[in-house]
Amino acid sequence: MIGRRCVNDLGRTACWQESFAGLADFPNVFCIVNETFQPERETKMTFLTRINHLVFVLLLTLALPVIAWGQQYTPEQILKVVPSQADVPCDVPTDAEIANCKIVQFKEGSYKGIGLVKPDGATPLRVWCAPEGSQKVEQIRYYRNGVEIFRDILGRECRWLNDAGSRWGVLESGTKRIASWKSLSPEEATAEIVAALKTNDVSRYKAVALTADDVKTLGVQDPLASELLRQIEGVDAGFDALVARLKLPSTIVWGAFNGSRPALLPADKNGLVADLAAYFNSSVVLMNPENAADSYQLFIGDLVRVGATWKIIGLPAGDEYGSGKNEASVTSVLFPSQSDMTVSPDAAGDYNSVAEQLNDAYRQLESATPENYAALCENAYNLLLTLAYKNPNEETTIVTQAADLVFTGIQSGLFPKGTEILAQLNDAYKDSSNSELVAHIRLRKIDGDFYSLTQQSPPPKIGDLEKAQTRHTEELAAFAEEFPNTVAGAHALMYLANDQEYLQEDDQAINYYSTVVKHFPDDPIGKKAQGALNRLQGEGKPFVVSPWNFLEGGTLNLNDYKGKETVIFIWASWQPDDVQKMQSLAKSRSINVVGVSLDATPDEATAFIKAFGSPLPWKNVCLEGGLDGPCALELGVQNVPMMILLDADANLVRANVMSVDDLSVLLGK
């Protein structure tokens, strides 16, 4: 059926083949080029499609060409090259293991190179690679427990990946120092703040502080703009004095980020170019690993999101570490109505003791093995519940985190008891007056029950998977009907609507999207649902999009494409196979193509296009924000690829073609 899901859900396929030949054609010279690959993001597919695609990818992998290298490298030589950053807990084999490690050939997407694997011949430790056609190493990849956790894009950038976090740093020219950030979560941003204050490193601090350029980028207007600039100007003048006042010991570490649900300043009410996401009056818990009772709460104040990076406004508040003044009167720049709040944790000593134990539990989880993961996960969950009990003001945030932790364990396949725990948590909170928390836990339970079946060993039969998916969809529909005005309910409705689009049941998808718009008209999720409605309800009418700027220059105007059928091709760099298919289709058919990349930043899309191998026969749009950015919201897109087909008069013909193969069939009619 045209429109059913046919996407690369597996994303990255690596071809490893043992070779002791070395690297004659791969000089030990590092070049500086842009990164062209982003880790796969989850797409929603029926399990039959997933399984069929797995068979296809396995066959494709077996057919990949073998790359021959000549010069020999030893494991010791490869291991001498270390990450550019200090906090990379990658696997390092023992001396006894090194002797039995193997050098293998590596092929993944458009990258080739060599890898160092453990004595089992399969578990990767390091990879040196570059795009096909290049003769110089571009990337060095580091692994832990067989999963890539860090990537040096030599001389240019560095990235923490998978369970090591989401940091993406841009290096200062000619050094290993991170000058700015492309991606940084609130937790990671506050950890950088703590590290900078502890080491009296103002440059490191300013890399995660809001700048005057950021204020312009966000489109902030006076009087707020003037206040932000005043705070920014105070960083250089006040940093040394703040460090001297705090006197943070060198032994302390970042323990936890404390912030309520992120707030949103809507553009239409604040004179902004776009909605502004922020945390107000946030804080972090600082821990002393050598003394669980020695902890401190540092009040950060407001954080704002600029692109994919969270940044602090000005300087934080706080008294000398260990002074006993574990409270602060915090003034919010973005939310004056929340100003002059006195924040003080209940039973600070007892609370901080539990928080320290939780911090240790998370550190142990980071290096967990399949054998001890379940016990460590359950321990961290129990500590979170204890913390929630001791700090009722943060109960919603902490219990939400606990449910998310258990759900992640279920998805990993290493925590089968997680379904039982989520059921218990659901029972404990089902009668709570906090509908948002009740809904979040319930949704995690529904999804956890479903994913636990998929992780069974041996795998369940196809018929059982089909029944499980049907049951999952029915439970989500009932859940969304019960909690339509909660954030969790809105996410369930978006999931259901997306499924209906894949199945070409557009009328039902419209019903789901309409409910989201009804309850969340001003939130990003509501705006994305409205974009989907505009798309689905526009067939047969002239199709109009904003005059976005092309990466290659010029402005998008669909009237310029009249005269031939036009395809709006919505893509991302983590699905390179779809781009290649569209490139072939565009060359073989008399059609126009307009590319819309949902990569997180224009730089990512531009780097991918440059490294793709051959020029793309169409122009591309890419705005900041990716799947949460302006393009995705206006078009109502949740996954890639998606194609929108227009006739020669720029009227909408098909609002949702879900694979390039389906598009080829449509164009052939």
348-368 pLDDT per residue, tens:
446 667 777 888 888 888 888
Q: What mean pLDDT is predicted for residues 167-188?
A: 93
| Band of residue 322 on the pLDDT scale cut at 50, 70, 90 | low
615 in helix, strand or coil? coil
Q: What percent of the chain has pLDDT over 70?
A: 82
pLDDT attached to residue 283 = 82
**What per-residue confidence (pLDDT) applies to 269?**
64
Are the beta carbons of 69 and 92 closer than 8 angstroms?
A: no
The model's pLDDT over 595-625, given as tens digits with 9 standing for 90+, comes to 999 999 999 999 999 988 788 999 999 998 8
Residues counted in the chain: 669
What share of the chain in percent tops pLDDT 90? 53
Distance between first and last Cα of the chain? 14
Tokens coding 605: 């899309």
Say which residues have a Cβ less than 8 Å from residue 83's Cβ, sequence separation at least 6.
90, 140, 142, 150, 152, 158
Q: What's the pLDDT at 55?
A: 33
Contact yes or no for 414/456 (Cβ under 8 A):
no
Q: What is the pLDDT of residue 457?
A: 75
Q: What's the pLDDT tens digit per position in 457-505? A: 788 888 888 898 899 999 999 999 999 889 999 999 999 999 999 999 9
Span 38-77, pLDDT tens digits: 333 333 333 333 333 333 233 223 332 333 343 478 999 9
Task: Decide if pLDDT at 132 tops 80.
Answer: yes
State the average pLDDT over residues 18-25.
31
CA–CA separation, 469 and 463 (whole Å): 10
Average pLDDT over residues 498-526: 93
Q: In 3D, which of 595, 602, 627 has the Cα closest to residue 531?
A: 627
What's the farthest any 2 CA atoms get from each other in the chain? 76
pLDDT of residue 64: 29
Average pLDDT over residues 104-120: 91
Q: How far apart are CA 490 and CA 515, in angstroms?
A: 8
Confirm whether pTM is higher than 0.85. Answer: no
Q: Is the pLDDT of residue 548 over 60?
A: yes
d(CA 299, CA 297) in angstroms, rounded, equals: 6
Average of pLDDT values for 212-218? Answer: 91
Cα Rg for the chain, rounded, in angstroms? 26
For residue 482, the model assigns a pLDDT of: 93
CA dihedral (173, 175, 181, 182) positive or negative: positive
**Average pLDDT estimate for 424-447:** 92
Grade residue 336 by pLDDT with cuts at 50, 70 and 90: low
* Stretch (H or E) spanning 240: helix 224-246
For residue 286, the model assigns a pLDDT of 83
Mean per-residue pLDDT over the chain, rounded: 82
